[in-house]
Structure 1
Amino acid sequence: INPDPVVASLTSSTGAWQWAGKCLYGTGSDYATGLSVDAAGVLYVGGTFNSSPFTYGNGNGILGEIPGNTPPGAGYSGFVGKVWAPPTVTGIVPASAPVGATITLTGANLSSSNFVKINGVMTNIVVNSATSITAVVPAGANLNARPRPLKVNNLNGGPGFSLPNFTVTGSVTVLADSVAALPGTVITVPVRVRGFQGMAALQGSLTFDATKLTFAGITQLGLPGMVAANVASPASGQLSFAWNNPTNAATTVADNGVIFAVKFSVGALAPGASLPLSFANAPVSVLVMKADFTTPTIVTLSGKAQAPLGSATLSGGIATSTGALVPGVIIVCTPLAAAQGALTNANGQFTFPGLVATGTYGLYPSKANDVTVNNGLSVLDLALMQRHILGVAPLANAYKVVAADVDRSGTVTVADVALARGVLLGSTPAFPMGRRWVFVRNDQSFVNQNAPWPIDTFRIYNSLTTAVGQGFVGCRLGDIDNSWDATIPRPAPGVVPVALRMEDVAGQPGQRLTVPVRIAGGFQDISALQLTAAWDPAALRLAAAAAGDLPGVAVNQIHATATGRLPLVWTDAAGTSQSRPAGAVVVYLTFDVLQASGATALDLTSDVVPAQAYDHALALHALTVRPGSVTIGALGTTADAAAGQSLLLYPNPARETVTLRGATAPTAILLNGLGRPVRTWHLQPGSSTLDLRGLPMGLYTVRAGITTRQLVVE
């Protein structure tokens, strides 16, 4: 029979029953391997069994009273003790106060055994309860230039509770940053202030090691009226600064705001070398003055230029999803004393050497330096986007979907098609916020290739070690087919070229003419078309552009009057294709004739957008074009005027009939392009209707007497 254990004494590992004793130590007799200790309902387990003493451990500790004076039963239960719960603070009023002010903390598990420290200085507790502490901000709490969290702890030990920094008002802190310093570089050291409220003047001195650091200038001036001349280096290793508001007005700077920054050139440094940047009272004493001419207490905090113990390198490259290298990408590497930037070279590569080992850095690529805004953008891309939206042919490629999302909304919609069409035509100068590229981490994986969001557009490195191959995939916005890089193979051109032609027309100064752009052949199973209409803006002024037999043709007339260039873009709205016979009209262009006489050319070119056509299989078809012309004649020659003769033909171009006015001759003759008569009409006085039925389409000449006019038959 095992006798009941007898406990002579019982303590915890940290004293007499503190907030959470990890172990119990006991002395006595009659212990056995089956011994257990139950305190405040918590079973102590994991102890070691010795004849005397015994040890039991409980990692969770015990909270609350341990029952005492219980009659002995199967074991010992006569000890009375206390275990303290950690304090919790839920609020503090006010959030800032001067020395001597009263503050109130509210929370739970607060008691007379708690103490409060502000900026590392013990406070005087005036009133205390389980849910509230009232304390006084102690003297000296305003002298710590680097504020610490306000802390509440239990005098008996154990963890306390920390609040965010509590601001002690009534003093001004001036501090210099500590920055990384690499030999051979230029560093920037910001000088900041805290508690800078209602100030009108500031002065002081900053010392540095002139054998390692060379003063290189001032930047980031942050006080009203402050100029670089307010900071000077009167002697080696010394800086003096002096500022006052020109109007003596009260000036306030947010805590940690930069008032100026000093640039230093860094000389030779041993790894791990630390160069102090210390405030001093010589040659100029450190002083701050308020607008009411009082001088608050000022606290200074030195900074340093720290050479890293080791260095690391970040390098990588940028290419499109097809592997085409992307040069000229701006890569920003942060954070450093000042962010470093670099351009990818001709091979799309970048390198950042000499970074601080174990530091935290980020890589952020961007590119907006393409000379041509719509480089890589064509009607083929619009057709691909349209088919993706309609579900006819999903892109099924994450990078193509990212490129199609030109408004960066996280989805591809008709809004993206409209934006891309506008940029292609030139009616929209750029995509939103001037973006032209999106760069995606090349190691990002995508669950859904048709919905790749969210995407990772930067890289973050914590505790940096040398890292190579840190690449990105460049996605040119709107360029779904990767045509930005001219070296990428394109689909083979279609066998049958698409032929277009401009009409030859005649007109008079001040007359308004309509010129159709016609299909001459090969427009079979076509899904997209783009080209540029061109003319001399001094001879003709565009008045209107209207769709013909190809609904949905988009044009940009904004700059056409001045430039004489009109981009035209068409894609099949249903994401399929269309066929049209020869003679069908793509678009009607209406011009006002400005030139007095002579001839001026009408052409179809690649000036603004390349002349291209794509079929349903998205194969590229060659475009052949026949230019046209406008022949401009005076309202009548001198002989015509003497005879009262001036020919007018309308409409022109004409189809079945045309009206002739102003002829005094009894007949009119129609000449073909070879100058041969093909039809003769007897004219009526005033005006006559001429029958054109049965005539082939083309350019003809109408002669009445000695006066001629050109006529376009459609």
Structure 2
Amino acid sequence: MSGVYNDGLLHNNNIDYKVTANKGGDYLNGVSTLDLVMIQRHILGLQALDSNYKMIAADANKDGKVTASDLTDLRKLILGVTTTLPNNTSWRFAVAGTPVQTSPIAFTEAINITNLSSEMDNQNFVAVKIGDVNGNVSTSVNSPEVESRSNANVEMSVAEAAIAAGEVVEIPVTAANFSEVSGFQYTMNLNGASFVGVQSGVLEVNANNVGVISDNVVTMSYASTEAVNANEGAVLFTLTVKADKAMKVSEMISLNSEVTRAESYNSDLKVGRVSLGVRTAPVAGIELFQNEPNPFKGMTTVSFEMPESSDSNIECI
């Protein structure tokens, strides 16, 4: 942060000055599950954060180190469970040109001026957005849309089904296009239903991955240190919901960015879209099975299966 500033005071050679910078609000700006992926990789020693300023950004709880506790605070922010960081500001400012220590994380946050008598140049700060380690924070009102890559898209699906009012049901969420996925996040609306819980499938998830904003609005954030692949039809995780009224699954579930922005991340940390489709069951027809025994003498059994009970005729030729 640089510029020309006037403190509006009469300068006296016998007075010392301490200059600091601060900026608050908008804790979520620039923070997403992609940052969690990168911080996780750093913690596990898989891919270190390549800047000391990124270490400052990753220290969400301001305890001087980067640990799983920072992930917990940031995930709650991403899920909309909290709107601030309990032990940190949304921005921190390091004096430009001064060293940043990383073990523990420590740096100079104030410019001390002794006996100021004239203009001083090159007294600058480096602004660090807490939680944003991939550097996509927006400092303008009209922030540009994040470019999405088709090869980073995640497609999931659920099966169509009729649900009775008051029924508690498990809805498996399966893979439709799930290749080299490092993470995803979204907001889910449950129209006419309430969220009960989530169980792991291919993905290890639990209550910490979900934010319950209201009975029918939940958010989800999933981050993996290694890219995940799942075959089409594999159960990624299972949702348990309670229907408030009789409806179909397609009428109940939808994804959006209302609270948590809907997006996904591939192994190269590129951003894609995340979507949820509804599979309809194929129309069943009559299925005729091989007679048994075959060959036979005197008597054989011919089995068949019909989509519904009705009168039928079998013609033997």
- Per the alignment, residue 236 of structure 2 pairs with 586
Question: Given the alignment of the two structures, is residue 374 of structure 1 paired with residue 25 of structure 2, yes or no?
Answer: no
Q: Deviations over 1:329-383 (max 9, x none)?
A: xxxxxxxxxxxxxxxxxxx87542344242322222222222xx32211111111
Question: Given the alignment of the two structures, is residue 479 of structure 1 paired with residue 112 of structure 2, yes or no?
Answer: no
Distance change (3 Å), C-alpha of 1:483 and 1:509:
same
Contact 2:60 2:88 in 1 (8 A): no
- Per the alignment, residue 615 of structure 1 pairs with 266
Greater radius of gyration (CA): 1
Question: Given the alignment of the two structures, is residue 532 of structure 1 paired with residue 196 of structure 2, yes or no?
Answer: no
- Per the alignment, residue 298 of structure 2 pairs with none
2:255 to 589, 604, 609: 604
1:495 to 147, 151, 157: 151
- Per the alignment, residue 98 of structure 2 pairs with 444
Question: Given the alignment of the two structures, is residue 513 of structure 1 paired with residue 176 of structure 2, yes or no?
Answer: no
**Structure 1: distance between partners of 2:196 and 2:56:** 39
**Structure 2: distance between partners of 1:616 and 1:404:** 20
Contact 1:378 1:424 in 2 (8 A): yes
Question: Given the alignment of the two structures, is residue 462 of structure 1 paired with residue 126 of structure 2, yes or no?
Answer: no
**Structure 2: distance between partners of 1:677 and 1:458:** 73
1:62-81 matches, within 5 Å, as none
Contact 2:180 2:228 in 1 (8 A): yes
Letter in 2 for 1:353: G
- Per the alignment, residue 547 of structure 1 pairs with 200
- Per the alignment, residue 295 of structure 2 pairs with none
**Structure 1: distance between partners of 2:149 and 2:6:** 41
Structure 1 residue 492 displacement after superposition: 6.8
Q: Deviations over 1:282-320 (max 9, x none)?
A: xxxxxxxxxxxxxxxxxxxxxxxxxxxxxxxxxxx36xx
Q: Deviations over 1:538-558 (max 9, x none)?
A: x11212222222113543344
Q: Deviations over 1:155-184 (max 9, x none)?
A: xxxxxxxxxxxxxxxxxxxxxxxxxxxxxx
Q: List gaps (5 residues or longer) in structure 1.
A: 1-316, 319-347, 629-670, 681-701, 706-714
Contact 1:398 1:452 in 2 (8 A): no
SS at match of 1:533: strand
Structure 1 residue 451 displacement after superposition: 4.4
- Per the alignment, residue 37 of structure 2 pairs with 383
Moved more, 458-467 or 378-387: 458-467
**Structure 2: distance between partners of 1:602 and 1:489:** 25
Distance change (3 Å), C-alpha of 1:501 and 1:545:
same
Q: Deviations over 1:420-466 (max 9, x none)?
A: 112211234421235211111122134x6x54732111222111132
Contact 1:502 1:627 in 2 (8 A): yes
- Per the alignment, residue 427 of structure 1 pairs with 81
SS at match of 1:400: helix
Letter in 2 for 1:543: V
**Structure 2: distance between partners of 1:594 and 1:470:** 61
**Structure 2: distance between partners of 1:349 and 1:606:** 39
1:560 to 203, 214, 219: 214
Q: Deviations over 1:405-427 (max 9, x none)?
A: 11111111111122211221123
Q: Deviations over 1:235-266 (max 9, x none)?
A: xxxxxxxxxxxxxxxxxxxxxxxxxxxxxxxx
1:649-660 matches, within 5 Å, as none
Contact 1:500 1:517 in 2 (8 A): yes
- Per the alignment, residue 678 of structure 1 pairs with 285
**Structure 2: distance between partners of 1:398 and 1:672:** 53
Contact 2:76 2:211 in 1 (8 A): no
Distance change (3 Å), C-alpha of 1:541 and 1:469:
same
Contact 1:577 1:616 in 2 (8 A): yes
SS at match of 1:416: helix
Contact 1:401 1:452 in 2 (8 A): no
1:220-239 matches, within 5 Å, as none
Contact 1:379 1:569 in 2 (8 A): yes
Letter in 1 for 2:124: G
**Structure 1: distance between partners of 2:44 and 2:106:** 22
Q: Deviations over 1:85-118 (max 9, x none)?
A: xxxxxxxxxxxxxxxxxxxxxxxxxxxxxxxxxx
Q: Deviations over 1:4-38 (max 9, x none)?
A: xxxxxxxxxxxxxxxxxxxxxxxxxxxxxxxxxxx
- Per the alignment, residue 103 of structure 1 pairs with none
1:394-405 matches, within 5 Å, as 394-405=48-59
Aligned length: 285
Contact 1:567 1:608 in 2 (8 A): yes
**Structure 1: distance between partners of 2:247 and 2:276:** 26
SS at match of 1:570: strand
Structure 1 residue 589 displacement after superposition: 1.5
**Structure 2: distance between partners of 1:586 and 1:617:** 21
**Structure 1: distance between partners of 2:136 and 2:43:** 21
Distance change (3 Å), C-alpha of 1:458 and 1:602:
same
**Structure 1: distance between partners of 2:247 and 2:174:** 26
Q: Deviations over 1:180-221 (max 9, x none)?
A: xxxxxxxxxxxxxxxxxxxxxxxxxxxxxxxxxxxxxxxxxx
SS at match of 1:495: helix
Question: What percent of counterpart residues are identical?
Answer: 23
**Structure 2: distance between partners of 1:440 and 1:672:** 59
Letter in 2 for 1:610: R
Letter in 2 for 1:600: E
TM-score, structure 1 normalization? 0.37
Contact 2:152 2:271 in 1 (8 A): no
**Structure 2: distance between partners of 1:615 and 1:485:** 22
Letter in 1 for 2:263: Q
CA-based RMSD of the aligned residues comes to: 3.1
More strand by share: 1
**Structure 2: distance between partners of 1:420 and 1:605:** 20
1:119-518 matches, within 5 Å, as 317=1, 351-358=6-13, 359-370=15-26, 373-433=27-87, 435-446=89-100, 451=103, 453-464=105-116, 465-485=118-138, 493=149, 495=151, 497-518=153-174
TM-score, structure 2 normalization? 0.78
**Structure 2: distance between partners of 1:484 and 1:515:** 36
- Per the alignment, residue 32 of structure 1 pairs with none
Q: Deviations over 1:59-81 (max 9, x none)?
A: xxxxxxxxxxxxxxxxxxxxxxx
